[in-house]
């Protein structure tokens, strides 16, 4: 008799840090966990020993039983000009990436991942090609902040500090809404980052965008929508999750958002990846301007040069880029062009995919 043996797939279940703590110290008063959490996120400590406001025996137990970081940093790469770093972080469900970028004033923006892979399948995005692997628990999102915070402090020559957090790494943050919301609320509670320093970028998951408008726990952070085309057919071609009514739904949502939160501080950003001869004609610019104007004065457009991935696209020619920008400006639309950072270590927008890098000459460390 032939027995068909199926491989046993072990699905790992992550036990959140708070639950691990409660299991280790059952019955401990609620303020204890709050102290631990505050120290972990807000104090830039480097080990359990430094949590001097909790009893020594507890610290020792934590040191033995609970990992200091929820993931294991396996590789950190630096771009040639030193303004971008990318870390590969390992957890049970696989590896994911997180990026640190220096901004104009010398401080640092971290680009965090909210999922391993992404199920949205945008045709120009390397993460989309991976498919969806796993949601990241808020501990993993918070720990990306903690990891880069130590990294900057350890590498003193870097100077500066984390001034901004953008959810533009791997994954669609609004497809992991509870964990993204929890992580943001913890960052706002325990760090000095204000809500306008945090940006959530979404491909436009309309039901969740509608939900956040009415969610009293959703923090007033900035929202960026990856529009990529205001022409229905073009958007459907490049963004797999788009549909015929999408732009109409987005317009309605944008108007509701502007009414509720829209002001200069809480403007909406429309991200637009520039794909040569695909979405960069004057017709496309006119349609984008019409959408922006229909929503009102709180929308800014950020044009992203397409970064090479394994796709059929190319970045817009300089001529198309300029013409597109000029057309938007002539319509009175506020438009900026995103600086391309970290291309040499595949850390730029849309290039995050967990493959071990071959260019090990720029590896800076294999752990913190």
Residue 227 to residue 288: CA distance in whole angstroms: 9
Each residue 246-285 as x (binds ligand SAH by CB under 6 A) or -, in order, gives: -------------------------x-x------------
CA torsion 222→17→112→96, rounded to 10°? Answer: -150
Please give the DSSP secondary-structure letter assigned to residue 341: -
126 vs 152, which CB is nearer to ligand SAH? 126
Q: H or E segment at 151? A: helix 138-154
- The catalytic residue among 19, 61, 97, 125 is 97
Active site residue 349: yes
Does position 141 interact with ligand SF4 (CB under 6 A)? The reply is no
Q: Which stretch binds ligand SAH (CB under 6 A): 82-90, 302-310, 317-325, 329-337?
A: 302-310
* Distance in Å, CB of 226 to ligand SF4, minimum: 6
Q: Do residues 85 and 140 make contact, with C-beta atoms less than 8 angstroms apart?
A: no
Q: How far is the CB of 231 from ligand SAH (least distance, A)?
A: 16
Question: 210: Cβ–Cβ under 8 A, 6 or more apart, which residues?
Answer: 253, 256
Q: Is 118 in the site for ligand SF4 (CB under 6 A)?
A: yes
H/E run at residue 146? helix 138-154
Shortest reach from residue 201's CB to ligand SF4, in Å? 7
| Residue of this chain nearest to ligand SF4 (CB atom) | 128
Q: State yes or no: is 97 an active-site residue.
A: yes
The catalytically annotated residue of 118, 122, 315, 349 is 349
Q: What's the count of helices (H) and strands (E) in the chain, helices before strands?
A: 11, 13
The interface mask with ligand SAH, positions 109-148, x = CB under 6 A, is ---------x-----xx-----------------------
Minimum gap (Å) between residue 172 Cβ and ligand SF4: 4
Q: How many of the chain's residues bind ligand SF4 (CB under 6 A)?
A: 12
Residue 267 to residue 300: CA distance in whole angstroms: 7
The answer to whether residues 353 and 129 touch, using CB atoms and an 8 Å cutoff, is yes
Nearest to 194 by CA among 148, 153, 162, 146: 162
- Whether the CB-CB separation of 117 and 133 falls below 8 Å is answered with yes
Residues annotated catalytic, as ranges: 97, 349
Instruction: List interacting residues with ligand SAH (CB under 6 A).
Output: 118, 124-125, 168, 172, 201-203, 226, 271, 273, 304, 306-307, 309, 349-350
């Amino acid at each position: 008799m032939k027995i068909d043996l199926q491989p046993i797939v072990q699905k790992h279940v992550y036990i959140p840090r708070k639950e691990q703590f409660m299991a280790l110290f059952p019955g401990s008063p609620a303020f204890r966990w709050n102290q631990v959490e505050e120290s972990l996120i807000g104090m830039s400590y480097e080990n359990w020993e430094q949590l001097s406001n909790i009893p020594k025996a507890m610290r020792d137990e934590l040191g033995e039983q609970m990992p200091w970081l929820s993931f294991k940093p396996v590789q950190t790469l630096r771009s040639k000009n030193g303004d971008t770093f990318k870390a590969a972080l390992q957890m049970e469900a696989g590896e994911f990436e997180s990026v640190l970028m220096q901004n104009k004033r010398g401080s640092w923006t971290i680009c965090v991942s909210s999922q391993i892979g992404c199920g949205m399948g945008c045709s120009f995005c390397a993460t989309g090609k991976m498919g969806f692997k796993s949601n990241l628990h808020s501990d993993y999102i918070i720990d990306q902040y903690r990891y880069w915070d130590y990294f900057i402090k350890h590498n003193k020559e870097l100077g500066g500090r984390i001034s901004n957090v953008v959810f533009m790494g791997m994954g669609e943050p609004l497809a992991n809404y509870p964990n993204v919301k929890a992580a943001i609320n913890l960052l706002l509670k325990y760090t000095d980052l204000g809500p306008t320093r945090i940006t959530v970028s979404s491909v436009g998951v309309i039901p969740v965008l509608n939900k956040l408008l009415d969610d009293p726990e959703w923090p007033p952070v900035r929202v960026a929508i990856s529009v990529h085309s205001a022409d229905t057919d073009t958007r459907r071609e490049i963004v797999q999750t788009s549909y015929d009514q999408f732009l109409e739904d987005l317009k309605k949502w944008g108007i509701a958002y502007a009414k509720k939160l829209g002001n200069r501080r809480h403007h909406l950003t429309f991200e637009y990846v520039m794909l040569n001869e695909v979405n960069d004609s004057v017709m496309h610019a006119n349609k984008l301007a019409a959408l922006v104007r229909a929503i009102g004065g709180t929308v800014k457009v950020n044009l992203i040069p397409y970064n090479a991935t394994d796709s059929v696209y190319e970045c817009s020619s300089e001529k198309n880029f300029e013409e597109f920008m000029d057309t938007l400006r002539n319509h009175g639309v506020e438009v900026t062009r995103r600086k391309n950072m970290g291309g040499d270590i595949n850390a730029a927008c849309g290039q995050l995919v967990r493959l071990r890098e071959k260019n090990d000459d720029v590896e800076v460390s294999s752990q913190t």
